[in-house]
Amino acid sequence: MIHILSLKVENRAGALSRIAGLFSARGFNIDSLTVAPTDDPTVSSMTIVTHGDDAVIEQITKQLNKLIDVIKVVDTEGREYVNRETALVKIHTAARDRAEALRIVDIFRARVVDSSPTSYTVEVTGDSGKIDAMIGLLRPLGIKELVRTGKVAVARERGGSGKS
């Protein structure tokens, strides 16, 4: 079972290695991990995607909470959360494929952010399912390079609306 954990951590040297070290020392999985600054310069936000059964996720959450640098851990599972990921995909585009590439970009509301005679670089943002789907369609054209940011997540406000 995949879980997205949203953390607030002290912005201190060593916080990231403590968290990453916890996962490796205890044999927990990290599918992705992102760290970013927040509005408050002393606090970083971290989004960790991990998987495991309920007991494992409970341990991961408790162990993270126990770390002195961790201010707050929220398991977004079962809560209203918006999560997003961005990918940059560089594809080979032989002349006959360029139109097809643009059609796919259009369908996913992605954008071409760089183009050369033989390639496009596409930026796409969305939930991971959308990104996976687009990559699936682009793959037959020939992917040269692919980078994904990993997920970031934020809680929905009560009464908020919009697609997740």
DSSP structural state of residue 106: H
Give min distance, CB of 21 to other proteins, in A. 5
Spatial distance between the Cα atoms of 164 and 160, rounded to a whole number of angstroms? 11
The mark string for 100-139 relative to other proteins (x by CB under 8 A, - otherwise) is ----------------------------------------
Provide the β-strand partners of residue 75: 5
Record the tokens describing residue 124, joined without a space: 């796409």
Strand pairing category for 111-116 and 43-51: unpaired
Q: Does 79 bind other proteins (CB under 8 A)?
A: no
- Asked if 29 and 56 touch (Cβ cutoff 8 Å), the reply is no
Binding residues among 7-26 for other proteins as defined by CB under 8 A: 9-10, 13-14, 17-18, 21, 25
Q: Which is nearer to other proteins, 17 or 164 (CB)?
A: 17
Q: Does 65 bind other proteins (CB under 8 A)?
A: yes
User: Quick one: angle between helices 15-25 and 54-66, nearest 10?
Assistant: 150
Coil vs helix vs strand at 155: strand
Spatial distance between the Cα atoms of 141 and 118, rounded to a whole number of angstroms? 11
Binding footprint of other proteins, residue count (CB under 8 A): 19
Binding range to other proteins, per CB under 8 A, among 65-73, 103-111, 118-126, 146-154: 65-73
The rounded radius of gyration (Å) of the Cα atoms in the chain is: 18
Binding range to other proteins, per CB under 8 A, among 5-13, 82-90, 118-126, 128-136: 5-13
Binding site for other proteins (CB under 8 A): 9-10, 13-14, 17-18, 21, 25, 55, 58-59, 62-63, 65-66, 68-71
